[in-house]
A and B are shown apart, each in its own frame.
Chain A
Amino acid sequence: MKGTFSWKWAVLALSVAALVAVGCAKKQTVKSEGAPGAPEAAVTPAPPAVGEAPMKEAPPAPMAVTPATPPAAAPGVAVTEEKMSQFDDVRFDFDRSEVKEDGRKTCQAVADYLKKNPNAKLLIEGHCDERGTSEYNMALGERRATAVMTYLVSLGVPEAALSTVSFGKEKPLDPGHDEGAWAKNRRAHFVLK
């Protein structure tokens, strides 16, 4: 009984609410909204309180932020420049990373040098031609550099003397856009450190 009574009141309340809501909807109301990164505007204009900084400047809570690295590259590092090498580049076929016959000859010369100069450290750069996606080429360049490293190790070069870095398609030797240029750019490049 009591339940029914409450229910009637609820229905009445709903009807009233509906009437009020419809009335509101018919009125030409304008919603107030803050600009992106700006304080939400109150319906009655209030002066912006000091300290209500734009939200964009507050980093998300869980993120620990360290200052940006200084813009200049570290001393001695200019990764965008082609380093001169006393060794030929090892060249690759499109989308491949096998060391071919002429590349093996180059690797033999590199291995002979490193065995005579046991203190030498060699960086092997992997590069790709401009075709295809940057990310895939970045991984492909790493695989090429590693293939050369593995071959040098098989020739008796200690692994500790070798390191690799991939530049993908970002650092072409030949800026051309034909098969001649692409063939030169699919390469492993040796840099004595």
Chain B
Amino acid sequence: MNQIVAWKPVPDPVEELAIAADGRSLDPEVIRFKLGDADEHALEQALLLKEKHGGKVTVVAFEAPEVDDALWTALAKGADRAVKLVLNRPNPGTAELAAALAHHLTSTAGPMTPDTLVLAGSQAIDDLEGELAPYLAEILGLPYLGVVSGVTLSEDGRTARVLKEFAGSLRGEFEVPLPAVLGIQSAEKPPRYVPVARVRAVMKSGQIEVAEVPPREVPQKLLVERMYLPEAAGHAEMLEGTPEEVAERLAGILAGRGLI
């Protein structure tokens, strides 16, 4: 099996996000990047499949300040190759990233081999133009399924059985022939933990490959006219005081609602 895990790091929303002076983008000064949960799960799903069916896992990540750490961790967890894609372009949209990734995949690996499975995160918090995985599938001419929370492979390795989430914890079971692109929402198991010592060891013996990709023009590129902080329609009544006092007030509210 030839598995490719595609990562698109996103600004960490736990940080205070500020708007840049142009009023159309995030202030790059305050952005710390991280992987979305779905990206972590995409790697985990690939590693689980590798354990069962062999083959290799290549993680391809777009460059971001903190992405090296994530790539070293991926190697320590069992990925075979880590590639950092450099795209010299400010604020690339998801469609552009997908086009660049498709270019990289087809130019370095040739056409997708019949045993290729591309796993990307299902959706990212900054996917204004939509998700990477279906763009990629369209460009590569491959089948796609999104919001995936489980993948198993047929015995001959040609077909993936894929669980896709709907609402209300309802799931759909689909079959898709390889090569295919999947948008992973969660892996079958929580992402594995890897000790720091193991990551350090990999940093000494392993390598992160760097590939520069030419920017691609795409018709979908959206021009953001304005980016701003939401003005909340309302706000919670905030309870202040010592933890003791706050707990007492909360108990009072619960009692007032007839719950105690």
Please indicate whether A and B come from the same complex rather than being unrelated chains: no
Q: Using a CB–CB distance below 8 Å, which chain A residues touch chain B? A: none
Q: Using a CB–CB distance below 8 Å, which chain B residues touch chain A? A: none
